[in-house]
Every structure is written in structure tokens, then in C-alpha cells.
């Protein structure tokens, strides 16, 4: 099949848009023409000729010469309107906007199915790691059992600097912002929302499971305090924000985003700073590990470039798992071993939610307990008004594998 000539209309000329402009200029073998760039503020100075720029979306969306829209703006609502209009008018779309995708995935898949127009978004998940196309193509037949991923570069940067440089979380966030790693609105990163949006996208390509973001339980890193860092240091662990998805023995999928203690024998232990990493577990290939830069102008632009290149040979996601007759349903029956830090006023109140408790510790300011809890019970607990709680996952315990153990003072000894 001959390669298709592409005429591109680009929305957004910020960090990633500017990166893409430079990357395209250095890739002359890719036969594409960047015709128009739509931005928001006309008076900003740009590192590209003035004649390319417009503030009128119609200059791209109504231009019959433009057959590809690349959407790289930081406003999910406007991005949704742009992407939907482009697809419905027959223009292929490449986007990096995970929030927009996660919030409208089902509708966008339906539009893609009825129009046959491709929508690609490798950059929306782990930036430079080619995880979506691998889940879509390579893991087409080998049955995936689980995915664990550090999918947010800025929180990983913050957690790495907090541990290695002993920085406060706020100081580490300020560094991440100064380096351009954090989203315009940092709560999207630190609150765990960005990781959740990416998990929603991964679920669709890994398991064919399309869920709404609000159906996926998540905790961010903004509540992590000193006790958690003390525990991590005492046990030679790192704290990572991990997106988890597991196929349960019943065949359903359990998915959540939680700060997680990671031991040195876990592949994710070495994924530091702005890097992302994804570990897959399959029936036949066993464990595989992907690692790469999860943010930044060029790493993200490289994934956008790869999607543009894929369009030249008519590539589109087939969503075979989503379209197959067997549907998977979200599950909350998984059990987790967690470390839960709490304030002193609530030190006994949370125990009844746990299946078993291994260790308890309190000092003058706060306390924690370590125990096994169902994901559903953890969700209830985290909705508890007024309690200052910080859960960190230690281990996933599959159903029926939990035995009652008495609380011990082991953790108190190790932290002191
Ligand atoms: N930065 C990363 O490392 C990274 C990694 C993966 C994915 N992403 C995703 O990539 C997308 C772009 O991120 P970014 O970091 O490049 O954002 P950014 O630096 O904040 O740039 C945003 C750009 O969007 C433009 N814009 C905003 N609203 C617009 C509208 N309604 N119409 C036209 N243009 C509009 C802005 O215009 P003005 O220049 O006129 O203000 C600006 O050029 C986001 O979805 C982000 O989540 C980013």
C-alpha cells in the first residue's frame, strides 16, 4: 500500500507543539506538510513563521487540504470539541490529551467505528514509551494478566527528589514546575488524576475494558507525610505512584492508582525522575518491562511523530479486544496489603475495615497500621470525612489468600 501524503493542522504550540515543530523539521523523510497552527494567544512570540499561526479553529477544521489534525492543547473541553469535529469531518486525529480521551473514550471509539477515521494517541500514555501500540498489536493474542505502571513523569520526579534530596513535597513540586514537567494545573498530577486518565486508556487497549474515570479508584501523592518516608527509608523501599490493573481469577479486572512501596527487586524501583515504566505480566511471555521518558517536549513529540508516521501507512487502532464478544467488568474484590497513616484522633477507628492487621505504630503526631483490606473497603475508608489518611500499597493479595495475623510491634522498632 502506498504511503499517504499528509497535510497537518496543529492545535497548540506550547511545550509539545513546539517540540513537534522542531522534530518534524528534523525528519524530512516523513512526507508531511504543516500548513496551519491554531493557538490561543496571538501576541506570544513563536519560534516559527508568523504566517502559520491563527486563532481561528475553522482555519484548520474547515480547510479541505488538511487531512490530519494534531491536537496538543492544554484544555480538555476545547480539545474534545476539536477532536470530535475533526473526526466527523473525515480528518484523522493525533492527540496527546489523556484527560479528554479518558472522559470521552466510549463516544470517540463509537465515532471512529462509524466513520472509519483514525484517532491515534500514543503520546497520551507514558509519552515516549510505545505502550498503546504494543498492547494493541503485540499483546493481541497472548493473554495479559496484569499491568503495573509509573505513568506520570512529574509525580515520579517529585517522589524521586523528595527521597534522594530529602526535599519537602512542595519544594520538589516547585522544581518539577520550573523544569516544565508538571501540568499547568499541578493537582492533575499530584492528585493522581493524570495517572488515572492514563490507566483508563491502558485498560481499553490491554483488556478491552472501557470505563469512566470516576469508576477507577485513585489516590495521589499530595497527602504523603514524614512517617511514610521514614518507613520507606527504614525498609530500603521507594514510594512510587503506580497505576495497577489485574485480571482476577473470575476473569474480571481490578484497576486503581495508589502510591506504592516498591522494593529493589521490582523493575519499577529503578524508574526514577521523569521516567515512566510499565511492567506487563502475560500467560506466555511472562514479565516484560518498558521504560522511557514520560514527559518533556521531545520525548512526547517523538510519540506524536510516530503516530503521524503511522497514519502515512493507513494505520488505525482496531480495538479488537473492545470489539470482541467477551466483555470484562471492573472488579473491586481484590485485596491489598496497605500501609495506612492516620491522625491520632482516629487511631482505632479504621481497624474494622481491615481483613487483617499486621502492625500498628503511633508517635506523638500520627500513627499507621499495616494490614490487608479490600479495594472496596479502602475506597469507603478514603471517603471518610475529616480524617487525614495516607494509604500506600505494599502488596496485592489475591482473593482467598488472606490469613488473619495478630498486630505486631515490628514496624515500630524498624522506624524508630
Ligand atoms: N508537556 C508534556 O510533557 C506532556 C506529556 C504528555 C502529554 N502532554 C499533553 O500534551 C498536551 C499539550 O501539553 P503542553 O505541555 O504542550 O501544554 P502547554 O505548554 O501548556 O501548551 C498549550 C498550548 O495550547 C494552546 N491552547 C490552549 N487552548 C487553546 C485553544 N482553545 N485553541 C488553540 N490553542 C489553545 C496554547 O496556546 P498559547 O500558546 O497561545 O497560550 C498553547 O500553545 C496536553 O494535553 C498535555 O496533557 C504533555
Q: SS3 for 225?
A: coil
Cα 226 to averaged position of ligand 1 atoms, centre (Å) = 34
List, by residue number, the catalytic residues: 198
> Quick check: 60 pLDDT over 70?
yes
Cα 366 to averaged position of ligand 1 atoms, centre (Å) = 41
User: pLDDT for 199-215, tens place per residue?
Assistant: 999 999 999 999 999 99
Residue 41 CB less than 6 A away from ligand 1: yes
Residue 16 CB less than 6 A away from ligand 1: yes
Residue 182 CB less than 6 A away from ligand 1: no
For residue 65, what are the CA distances in angstroms to 148, 219, 293, 316? Answer: 42, 45, 34, 21
Residue 39 CB less than 6 A away from ligand 1: yes
How far is 290 from 60, CA to CA, in rounded Å?
36
* Dihedral pair phi/psi, residue 415, rounded to 5°: -80, -30
Least confident of 261-265, 344-348, 379-383: 344-348
Cα 69 to averaged position of ligand 1 atoms, centre (Å) = 14
What pLDDT is stored for residue 31 in this prediction?
Answer: 83
Q: Which long-range contacts (CB under 8 A, 24 or more apart) does 49-56 make?
A: 53/13
Residue 333 CB less than 6 A away from ligand 1: no
Are the beta carbons of 123 and 307 closer than 8 angstroms? yes
Residue 359 CB less than 6 A away from ligand 1: no
Cα 199 to averaged position of ligand 1 atoms, centre (Å) = 21
How far is 225 from 232, CA to CA, in rounded Å?
11
Ligand 1 atom showing the smallest separation from residue 184 Cα: 20
pLDDT, mean of residues 235-254: 91
Residue 44 CB less than 6 A away from ligand 1: yes
What pLDDT is stored for residue 402 in this prediction?
Answer: 29
What pLDDT is stored for residue 350 in this prediction?
Answer: 83
> Quick check: 413 pLDDT over 70?
no
What pLDDT is stored for residue 179 in this prediction?
Answer: 84
Residue 245 CB less than 6 A away from ligand 1: no
Are the beta carbons of 372 and 356 closer than 8 angstroms? yes
pLDDT, mean of residues 257-266: 97
What pLDDT is stored for residue 398 in this prediction?
Answer: 61
pLDDT, mean of residues 374-390: 86
Residue 129 CB less than 6 A away from ligand 1: no
pLDDT, mean of residues 180-189: 81
Partnered with residue 53 across adjacent β-strands are 37
What pLDDT is stored for residue 141 in this prediction?
Answer: 67
What pLDDT is stored for residue 411 in this prediction?
Answer: 37
How far is 228 from 230, CA to CA, in rounded Å?
5
Least confident of 67-76, 238-247, 272-281, 401-410: 401-410
Residue 78 CB less than 6 A away from ligand 1: yes
Cα 70 to averaged position of ligand 1 atoms, centre (Å) = 11
How far is 416 from 414, CA to CA, in rounded Å?
6
What pLDDT is stored for residue 1 in this prediction?
Answer: 63
> Quick check: 297 pLDDT over 80?
yes
**CA dihedral angle for residue 171, residue 154, residue 197, residue 86, rounded to 10 degrees:** 120
Ligand 1 atom showing the smallest separation from residue 71 Cα: 11
> Quick check: 358 pLDDT over 50?
yes
* Residue among 20, 36, 40 to mutate when testing ligand 1 (max atoms within 8 A of CB): 40
* Dihedral pair phi/psi, residue 11, rounded to 5°: -105, 120
What pLDDT is stored for residue 401 in this prediction?
Answer: 33
- 0.75 exceeded by the pTM? yes
Cα 402 to averaged position of ligand 1 atoms, centre (Å) = 46
* Residue among 12, 101, 303 to mutate when testing ligand 1 (max atoms within 8 A of CB): 12
Cα 188 to averaged position of ligand 1 atoms, centre (Å) = 14
Q: Whose CA is nearest to atom 29 of ligand 1?
A: 40
What pLDDT is stored for residue 284 in this prediction?
Answer: 84
Residue 375 CB less than 6 A away from ligand 1: no
Residue length of the chain: 416
Least confident of 175-184, 223-232, 244-253: 175-184
> Quick check: 40 pLDDT over 90?
yes
Cell triple for residue 242? 503506580
pLDDT, mean of residues 23-34: 91
Q: What is the mean pLDDT of the chain?
A: 90
Cell triple for residue 263? 522494593
Ligand 1 atom showing the smallest separation from residue 296 Cα: 3
Partnered with residue 147 across adjacent β-strands are 245, 280
User: pLDDT for 149-184, tens place per residue?
Assistant: 999 999 999 999 999 999 999 999 999 888 877 766
Cα 88 to averaged position of ligand 1 atoms, centre (Å) = 23
> Quick check: 410 pLDDT over 50?
no
What pLDDT is stored for residue 388 in this prediction?
Answer: 83
pLDDT class of 247 with cuts at 50, 70, 90: confident
User: pLDDT for 67-123, tens place per residue?
Assistant: 999 999 999 999 999 999 999 999 999 999 999 999 999 999 999 999 999 999 999
What pLDDT is stored for residue 347 in this prediction?
Answer: 72
pLDDT, mean of residues 367-396: 89
pLDDT class of 249 with cuts at 50, 70, 90: confident
CA-based nearest residue to 147, from 197, 200, 206, 98: 206
With pLDDT > 70 as the criterion, what percentage of the chain qualifies?
A: 93
Least confident of 117-126, 302-311, 371-380, 398-407: 398-407
Please give the full DSSP string across 143-209, using - where no structure is assigned. PEEEEEEE--HHHHHHHHHHHHS---HHHHHHHHHHTT-S-SSTHHHHTSHHHHHHHHHHHHHHH--
How far is 234 from 94, CA to CA, in rounded Å?
45
Amino acid at each position: 500500500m502506498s504511503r499517504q501524503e499528509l497535510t497537518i493542522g496543529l492545535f497548540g504550540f506550547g511545550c509539545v507543539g513546539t517540540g513537534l515543530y522542531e522534530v518534524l523539521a528534523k525528519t524530512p523523510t516523513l512526507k508531511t506538510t504543516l500548513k496551519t497552527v491554531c493557538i490561543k494567544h496571538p501576541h506570544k512570540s513563536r519560534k516559527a513563521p508568523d504566517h502559520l499561526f491563527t486563532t481561528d479553529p475553522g482555519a484548520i477544521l474547515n480547510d479541505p487540504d488538511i487531512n490530519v489534525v494534531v491536537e496538543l492543547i492544554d484544555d480538555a473541553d476545547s480539545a474534545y470539541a476539536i477532536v470530535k469535529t475533526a473526526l466527523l469531518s473525515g480528518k484523522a486525529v493525533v492527540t496527546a490529551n489523556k484527560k479528554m480521551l479518558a472522559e470521552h473514550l466510549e463516544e470517540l471509539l463509537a465515532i471512529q467505528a462509524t466513520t472509519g477515521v483514525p484517532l491515534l494517541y500514543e503520546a497520551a500514555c507514558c509519552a515516549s514509551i510505545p505502550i498503546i501500540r504494543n498492547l494493541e498489536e503485540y499483546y493481541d493474542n497472548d493473554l495479559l494478566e496484569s499491568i503495573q505502571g509509573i505513568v506520570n513523569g512529574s509525580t515520579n520526579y517529585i517522589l524521586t527528589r523528595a527521597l534522594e534530596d530529602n526535599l519537602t513535597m512542595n519544594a520538589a513540586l516547585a522544581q518539577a514546575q520550573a523544569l516544565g514537567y508538571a501540568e499547568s494545573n499541578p493537582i492533575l498530577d499530584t492528585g493522581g488524576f493524570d495517572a488515572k486518565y492514563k490507566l483508563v486508556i491502558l485498560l481499553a487497549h490491554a483488556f478491552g475494558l472501557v470505563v469512566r474515570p470516576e469508576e477507577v479508584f485513585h489516590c495521589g501523592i499530595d497527602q504523603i507525610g514524614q512517617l511514610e518516608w521514614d518507613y520507606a527509608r527504614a525498609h530500603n523501599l521507594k514510594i512510587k505512584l503506580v497505576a495497577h490493573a489485574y485480571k482476577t481469577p473470575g476473569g474480571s479486572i481490578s484497576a486503581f492508582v495508589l502510591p506504592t512501596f516498591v522494593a529493589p527487586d521490582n523493575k519499577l524501583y529503578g524508574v526514577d525522575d521523569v521516567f515512566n515504566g510499565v511492567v506487563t505480566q502475560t500467560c506466555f511471555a511472562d514479565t516484560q518491562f518498558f521504560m522511557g521518558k514520560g514527559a518533556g517536549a521531545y520525548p512526547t513529540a517523538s510519540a506524536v511523530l510516530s503516530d503521524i508516521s503511522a497514519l502515512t501507512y493507513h494505520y488505525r487502532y482496531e480495538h479488537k479486544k473492545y470489539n470482541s464478544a467477551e466483555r470484562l467488568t471492573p472488579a473491586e474484590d481484590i485485596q491489598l496489603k496497605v500501609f495506612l497513616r492516620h491522625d491520632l484522633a482516629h487511631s482505632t477507628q479504621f481497624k474494622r475495615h481491615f481483613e487483617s492487621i499486621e502492625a500498628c505504630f503511633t508517635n506523638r503526631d500520627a500513627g499507621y497500621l499495616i494490614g490487608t483490606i479490600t479495594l472496596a473497603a479502602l475506597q469507603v475508608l478514603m471517603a471518610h470525612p475529616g480524617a487525614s489518611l495516607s494509604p500506600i500499597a505494599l502488596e496485592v493479595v489475591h482473593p482467598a489468600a488472606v490469613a488473619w495475623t495478630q498486630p505486631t510491634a515490628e514496624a515500630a522498632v524498624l522506624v524508630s
